[in-house]
Amino acid sequence: MQFGIFSVGDVTPDPTTGRTPSEHERIKAMVAIARKAEEVGLDVFATGEHHNPPFVPSSPTTMLGYIAARTERIILSTATTLITTNDPVKIAEDFAMLQHLADGRVDVMMGRGNTGPVYPWFGQDIRQGIPLAVENYALLHQLWREDVVDWQGRFRTPLQGFTSTPRPLDDVPPFVWHGSIRSPEIAEQAAYYGDGFFANNIFWPKEHFQRLIELYRERYAHYGHGTPEQAIVGLGGQVFMRRNSQDAVREFRPYFDNAPVYGHGPSLEEFTAQTPLTVGSPQEVVEKTLTFRETFGDYQRQLFLMDHAGLPLKTVLEQLDLLGEEVVPVLRAEFAKGRPAGVPDGPTHAALVAAREAKAVEPAE
C-alpha cells in the first residue's frame, strides 16, 4: 500500500490574511512540500497539470525533474497528464526522459482535466474528449513498447518509421494510471490495458466512485489481467488535522468556505459527511480512511490533497508532519491486516522490471 500527496497547484488568497502568494512562491512551495513528503516517509508526490490561472503547474515534467534531483526515494507522478490536448509523442519523450533522470521513480496519470477551454487552446474539440483520450493513449502505449512505429489515426498526422527517444528506462515504460471522476469509458480503458485506475473521489459521494471501481475491476478480469481483486486501484482524499478536532474545524473552516473549488456551496459538515474530506484529529483521519477499504476493496495507493485553498506553506508542512508521524504508520499496519495474499502491492519500477523478467523466462505452453 502506497501513501502520498497530490497538489493541484492553485494560487489562492489566504482568507484569514487576504495575502495571495506569487506564482514563484507557489512553485517553490510545491517543491518544498514534495521534499517534506519524502522526509516524513511518504511514498508518492503527484502534481496536476493546468494551463490557466489560478494554477501554476503547466509543465509537470519540468517540476518533477527538478524535484527528482532533490529527492532520493519518493515516487514522482502526475495527478493529471492531459492525454486529450498533449501530443502523445511529446508525452512519450518527456516521461521517458524523466524516468531516466529519476532512476525509474516515475508514474503518469492520464486524464481529461476539468477545464473546458483547454481544448481550443491546444487546437482540439472538447466534443471529441473521449475519442481523443482513447486514440492518444493507444498511440502512447505503442510508442513506449515498439522501437519503430507506423501509425495513422484521426487526430494527428501519421507516423512512419518513427522512434520515440529516449527509450523507456530498462525498456519498461512508466506505470500508467487512468484518472476519472465521472467517465465509465476511462475505467474501461484502464481495464483494457491492465493499467491502474485512480478514482479521484474528492467531490462526489462514495456510491458514484464505487460503481466506477466495480466496473473497472470487472473489466480488468474480463480482459484477462487477473482477478477483480488484483486490479490496481488508487483513491484521492482530503484532510486537515490538528491534535484536537475542534481546533482543526475552527482553523480550516474559513479556507473551506472560500475555496475556489467547493467554497460557497455545501457546508463543511455536509461535505465531510458525503465525501472523503476529513477535518479533525489524526485518529479521525485514520478511522475514516480505513472505511475506504469497506467501500472499494483492497487497493494500492492513497493520495491526499493538503496544500490547497490558500493554506500557507507553514501549515501544510505541519500537516505533513502529522500525516507522516501519526497517520500513515497506523494506516500501513491496519491496511496490511487481512490483506489477501493475491492482492498486488503498489506499482514501482523495480517491480515492473522484475515482472517483465519473470515473464521472459516462463516456459512456452
Residue 59, C-beta contacts closer than 8 angstroms, at least 6 positions apart:
none
> If you search the block for the grid coordinates 490496481, which residue do you land on?
232
- Residue 262: pLDDT over 90: no
49-58, 91-100, 164-173: segment of lowest average pLDDT: 49-58
Phi, psi values for residue 55, rounded to 5°: -105, 150
Please give the pLDDT value at position 365.
54
Over range 132-157, report the average pLDDT: 96
β-strand pairing of 149-151 with 107-111: unpaired
- Residue 95: pLDDT over 70: yes
What's the CATH code, domain 2-361?
A: 3.20.20.30
> What are the start-end ranges of the E strands in 98-200?
107-111, 149-151, 159-162, 175-180, 196-199
Query: CA-CA distances (angstroms) from residue 187 to 28, 182, 342, 343?
Result: 34, 9, 22, 19
pLDDT tens-place string over residues 286-332: 999 999 999 999 999 999 999 999 999 999 999 999 999 999 999 99
Sheet with 175-180, side-by-side order of all strands: 75-78, 44-47, 2-7, 301-305, 233-235, 196-199, 175-180, 107-111, 81-82
- Residue 264: pLDDT over 80: no
DSSP 215-239: HHHHHHHHTTSS-GGGS-EEE--BE
Cβ(80)–Cβ(48) under 8 Å?
Answer: yes
Listed residue (49, 55, 189, 45) closest to 107, CA to CA = 45
Please give the pLDDT value at position 114.
67
Counting residues of the chain whose pLDDT is more than 90, the rounded percentage is 79
For the whole model, what pTM was predicted?
Answer: 0.94
Over range 226-236, report the average pLDDT: 96
Cα–Cα distance between 120 and 218 in angstroms, integer? Answer: 35
Burial of 18 (0-12, 13-18, 19+ CB in 10 A): exposed
Copy the grid coordinates of residue 55: 494554477
Please give the pLDDT value at position 182.
75
The overall average pLDDT reported for the chain is 93
Burial of 4 (0-12, 13-18, 19+ CB in 10 A): buried
Alpha carbon 152 to chain centroid distance?
30
The domain segmentation of the chain, as residue ranges, is 2-361
Cα–Cα distance between 301 and 281 in angstroms, integer? Answer: 22
The three-class DSSP label of residue 241 is strand
Per-residue confidence at 363, pLDDT binned at 50, 70, 90? low
202-206, 207-211, 218-222, 334-338: segment of lowest average pLDDT: 202-206
> If you search the block for the grid coordinates 519500477, which residue do you land on?
349
